[in-house]
Structure 1
Amino acid sequence: MKLLFLLLISVTVIHGCLRVRSPEPPKCECHSLAIGQQQTPEIENHHFYQNISNQALEPPTIVLEDCSISMGCDPEYSLVVFDTEDAVMFGEYGLDGMCDPYTQTWMADDGSQLRTFNRLYGACVGYGKCLCYSTAITKENIDDLLGNHPFKTNISGYALKDPYMNLEDCSVSFGCDEGFSLVMLNSDEAVMFGEYPADGFCDSTSQTWQVADETGNLRVFDKIYGACVDYGTPVPTEPPQLTCPCAYMDILTSNAKEYIGHFDLYLKNLSHYDLVRPEEFIFNFNHNKGCVANYRCPAGTSKYFFSDFYQFDAKPSDFDLFEMRCEDNLRWNVMPYTEHLDFTPDFVMPVCVNFSAPLPNPNPPTSPMCSCQNYMLRSSLDRTTLMNNFEVKSTVSDDHCHWEISCKNEAYAVVEVDGQKHFSQSLDAKCSPDNSKWNIQNSNGGSWSNIESFDFGCTKQVPSAVTTQKPRTTQVPCLCLKTEFDSRNADETIGTYDFYLYNISRYALYPPGLSYPGGRVSGCPMSFHCAEGEVQVLTTSESSYEVRAVEMFCVDEMWTVIDGSDTTKLTRSIYMTCADFSTPSTKNLPLLETMCNCPHKMMSNYSNPDAMHLEFNDFMTPTISDDRCVWEIRCGYPTSLAFNSDGQRFSVR
């Protein structure tokens, strides 16, 4: 027993803990974003975005700590959270959530239950806030604001004064000093208020203005421009600035691709830097030399020079020697380089390059860079075709392998292959990086393979024996709706248009000639022309206006209309005539100031495909008195007449 006791007290007892090493959880990288006006592209394809697109947006306050998030808005805003598929409206309440590091998804209470979010894109929405646009037109900003507005010429030629403008919350008021007339404009029309002020109220739902016009009726303006015009004081004309009649163009970063994008010097070097306008373009008239030009670049920039077929570096040390003389044949004579080169270009393009301001480097091309030979055709070498490469419009891919060439101002694209010129509306050339040879196609269906050099240009003079379109036995008309009219049928064709009622109805109208050139784009192209001295007038489903050059393409029973200012319109119907403004109409119309001018607007349906009414002019026959005071409107079978009055719609059979 004593031995057992001694044995027990001699045993060592050990106490300890088992350490188990477990892996650390992944890093929390759940997606979240604060959405304001600048970030709307992130959610504009979300189905819920249309519910807030017309509302004020501010980014919420987001606090991220480890794997937790809190998101909230100012008291006057409501929080909306966009998940990948749906959206949750938290309103005045904030959001608190946790990121699951294993699934990289958020867990948050949506107000009724704990749910999983794939992402938390939060936006603070200011429901009921007014965002309607309004501004005052001044002589300094009229060109920027109105651009090609149809009413611009009715105010730009007269003295302007800043209007009184008072903007408070959702209302705006405009007024003018005595002697000035108030004109209120939206994107495409104008209302004359004269000596009276005007008030507008912003509808926060549609973000459009409601303005009571001179008759007391409410009109909807997408935006408001207010101008005070003194129609008794025309703007004094300034003496013209001396310039040479030969063609030239300042090249900037914004237009370089279009005008010099096909030159190697630009493609491989200058395209990587900012191109700025010359600070001084100097013109001098000398009785011995005629009109001489030179230009000076801003300090710190380098001087380059392009023409219709040549490019070079005009070193600053040569400035006093370098000059461009405009010859009587409207071609430039560039000196002193003419002593060494046959250098009499049709046009010149000065370039100032800021090599200290490289442009942001885009993603490099994934394919090898191409370096095929190319050359611009010159009329000085072939006078049978008057080349005008000033009209060249080029698009060159980043890897320099794909070239698209077209011409501005109705000029034709020319490609020369094996000594023969081919004329069309556009060219598509692809350079193979493997053998540095071209595969070229033109818009008339011509195709050439393994060409050593892409020789191209633009011309307005095509030899009479050459056709610029695919051969056709007969002209194929386009299937879209169109009507040619003259003085005999103008009343019933476009009698409801203001441009006809108060303008061209007072002059002789003649039917135009139609042509279907074919070959330029998919669909059916068409153009119309007038005799010398007559002016083209085009009427679409929306408006009627005078044009100088117009192209129309019929695709899927809809016209795409491109006018001389490169403005594109979409319309179901077109109406064409030729106006002779030197020949008065045989109609005995009263003076304009004695005629009625009640506001009216025709309903269109191309902007609303679900509308039940058909295109108005296809079935409508108006009868309007000469003083414009009595209107009779009839609709042919199977349509019925529809009209809106005081916000209500009525139909008459």
Structure 2
Amino acid sequence: MISFIILLLLPSIVQSCLKVRTVEPPKCECLYYALDKNDFYDTIDSHPFYSNLTFYGSDKFAKPIVKTDECYVSLYCEGDFSLVVLDTQKTTIFGAYSADGMCDPLVQKWLVDDETGFGYYDKLYGTCVDFTNGGHLPSTKNPKTCGCVYKSLDSDNVKEYASHFDIYPTLLSKYRLEPALLSGTTEDGCATHFHCSSNNLKKIVVEQSRAYETTGPEVVTCYYFENKNSYEWSIIPGDNKDAMSTFIYVTCIDYAVRMPTLLPPSTPTCSCKTNLLLDRSIMYPASLVTNWNIQTEISEDRCKWNISCKENDDVIFTYDDVFSVKVSVKSQLLSAQCDLASNKWIVRSIDTNDTSVYAVDTLNYACARK
């Protein structure tokens, strides 16, 4: 009987002897860097935003002021300098505001309150930039008129210039558009700022590879690249949409006024893919990409496309052959129709004395000239 009682008490005795160990959280080892231009090559030379920063002289940069306390960091700039914070890929323009981050020791990433709310940053590369007087041209080319292509869009001309962008059927064709206003130009006539006439309007920027709504403020600068023989816009800052673009279309959208549409609500969108080409190296024998000269006739369901180019530029069409080698085709007109059964484009490349037919997964197209 005594043995039985001891067995009953044994778990209680053992439990009372257990030790409770607390696990200490890992140390905060999130990385941050305060940079000036001398530090760029060793830290951010492969970052997408790097090419924008290279247009500015060393006097346009300063290291941000940094305050730290264990797992907390704050970076900010003084005077006319704007704070620019780069992550591994993205860029955030904080301007006159500070970037305040808390290190999450479990993932060793910074949790930063930016304009989109709290978000994780792998690393914080901070620098202060003076955007007030623009950058430096990478060459001495200085045309009497602006070499960069700019167009202000409205409801009357948007289809001509932007119907091939995905944002056209989903947004630009649905609401009234008013032209954007220029609030600054350089001596050669290039725009430097653009805005909408009313706070009720929202600004839309269409670049060579994308289109987006933005609140700005944008500072746009036109540069000539001698190695590519092309003029390109730099947009700094641009609501984290930093990019170089061969053209800029800007419009102001009024979400309060809907436009009539020819499509019934149940009309399906086309499932075949399209892709606007940007890389000149795959467009033999092109020497200059001129996508601002694209002309399109697109069916309402976006399954039939006719593509040509203004100013006698060539339509370039590319596809991968059976050996996965990229082939470039030059023509005067592309006529493409999506075959819904196979989900492939049937493309007719029409030149002066020849018509060739291709079946491809993606309609890759561009305008270019020799």
TM-score (norm 1): 0.30
Report the alpha carbon displacement of residue 366 of structure 1 after superposing the two structures with TM: 8.2
Output the CA distance in 1 between the equivalents of 2:172 and 2:192: 24
Contact 2:158 / 2:172 at 8 angstroms: preserved in 1?
Answer: no
Residue 256 of structure 1 corresponds to which residue in structure 2?
Answer: 158
* CA displacement, residues 220-247 of structure 1 (integer Å, 9 cap, x when unaligned): xxxxxxxxxxxxxxxxxxxxxx973311
Q: Does 1:335 align with 2:236?
A: yes
Query: Is contact 1:424–1:443 with CA below 8 Å preserved after alignment?
Result: yes
Task: Decide whether aligned partners of structure 1 residues 426 and 243 sit closer, same or farther in structure 2, where only a CA change above 3 A counts.
Answer: same
1:397 is aligned, of 280, 284, 299, to 299
Partner of 1:325: 221
* 3-state SS of paired residue (1:262): coil
1:179-199 C-alpha deviation (Å, 9 max, x unpaired): xxxxxxxxxxxxxxxxxxxxx
SS at match of 2:289: coil
1:38-187 superposed matches below 5 A: none
1:297 alignment counterpart: 196
The aligned residue for residue 446 of structure 1 is: 356
Q: Which ranges of structure 1 fall in alignment gaps of 5 or more residues?
A: 1-241, 462-653
Task: Find the aligned partners of 1:283 and 1:440 in 2 and give their Cα distance.
Answer: 42
CA offsets, 1:578-619, max 9 Å, x none?
A: xxxxxxxxxxxxxxxxxxxxxxxxxxxxxxxxxxxxxxxxxx
CA distance in 2, matches of 1:292, 1:280: 7
Partner of 2:274: 374
For 2:274, the aligned partner's letter is N
Equivalent position to 1:276, from 146, 166, 178: 178
1:427–1:366 distance in 2 versus 1, CA, 3 Å: farther
Please list the CA deviations of residues 365-406 of structure 1 after superposition, one character each: whole Å capped at 9, or x if unmatched: 886321322111114555852210111001111111111111
Q: Is the 8 A contact 1:370 1:436 kept in 2?
A: no
In structure 1, C-alpha distance between the alignment counterparts of 2:190 and 2:155, rounded to whole Å: 28
Alignment CA distance shift 1:281-1:446 (3 Å): farther
Whether the 8 Å CA contact 1:249–1:349 is kept in 2: the answer is yes
Deviations 1:547-574 (A, max 9, x none): xxxxxxxxxxxxxxxxxxxxxxxxxxxx
| Equivalent residue runs for 1:638-649 within 5 Å | none
Rate the CA distance shift 1:345–1:432 in 2: closer, same or farther, 3 A: same
Q: Contact 2:270–2:303 (CA<8 Å) still a contact in 1? A: yes
Contact map agreement 1:297 1:352 (CA 8 A) in 2: yes
CA contact (8 A) 1:393 1:406 kept: yes
CA distance in 2, matches of 1:434, 1:281: 50
Query: Is the 8 Å Cα contact of residues 368 and 433 (structure 1) preserved in structure 2?
Result: no
Residue identity opposite 1:370 in structure 2 = C
The 2-side partners of 1:255 and 1:432 are apart by 30
How far apart, CA to CA, are the structure 2 residues paired with 1:437 and 1:251? 32
Equivalent residues, number? 211
Deviation per CA, 1:59-114, whole angstroms, max 9, x where unpaired? xxxxxxxxxxxxxxxxxxxxxxxxxxxxxxxxxxxxxxxxxxxxxxxxxxxxxxxx
Q: Flag the structure with larger Rg.
A: 1
Q: Report how far residue 363 of structure 1 moved.
A: 4.6
CA distance in 1, matches of 2:308, 2:155: 20
2:233 is aligned with what amino acid? Answer: W
Instruction: Let me know the Cα RMSD of the aligned residues.
Output: 2.8
Change (3 A) 1:358 1:366: closer
> For residues 328 and 367 of structure 1, do their structure 2 counterparts lie closer, same or farther at Cα, with a shift above 3 Å needed?
closer
The one-character-per-residue Cα deviations of 1:493-515 (angstroms, maximum 9, x if unpaired) are xxxxxxxxxxxxxxxxxxxxxxx
Instruction: Report the TM-score, using the length of structure 2 for normalisation.
Output: 0.52
Per the alignment, residue 455 of structure 1 pairs with 364
Shift, 1:452, TM fit: 1.9
Closer, same or farther: CA 332–432 of 1 in aligned 2, 3 Å:
same
Asked if 1:437 corresponds to 2:344, the answer is yes
The structure-2 alpha-carbon separation of the partners of 1:365 and 1:339, relative to structure 1 and needing over 3 Å to count, comes to closer
- Separation in structure 2 between the aligned mates of residue 454 and residue 434 of structure 1, nearest angstrom: 16
The one-letter code of the counterpart of 2:234 is N
Tell me, in whole angstroms, the C-alpha distance in 1 between the residues paired with 2:294 and 2:184.
Answer: 26
Query: Secondary structure of 2:363's partner?
Result: strand
Q: CA deviation at 1:305?
A: 0.7
Greater relative contact order, per chain length (Cα 8 Å cut-off, separation 6+): 2
**1:413 CA drift (Å):** 0.9
Quickly say closer, same or farther: Cα 1:425–1:366, change in 2 above 3 A. Answer: farther
Q: Could you say which residue in structure 2 is the equivalent of 1:427?
A: 334
Give the whole-Å Cα distance in 2 for the aligned partners of 1:337 and 1:380.
Answer: 25
Code of the residue aligned with 1:431 in structure 2: it is: C
Find the aligned partners of 1:295 and 1:340 in 2 and give their Cα distance.
Answer: 16
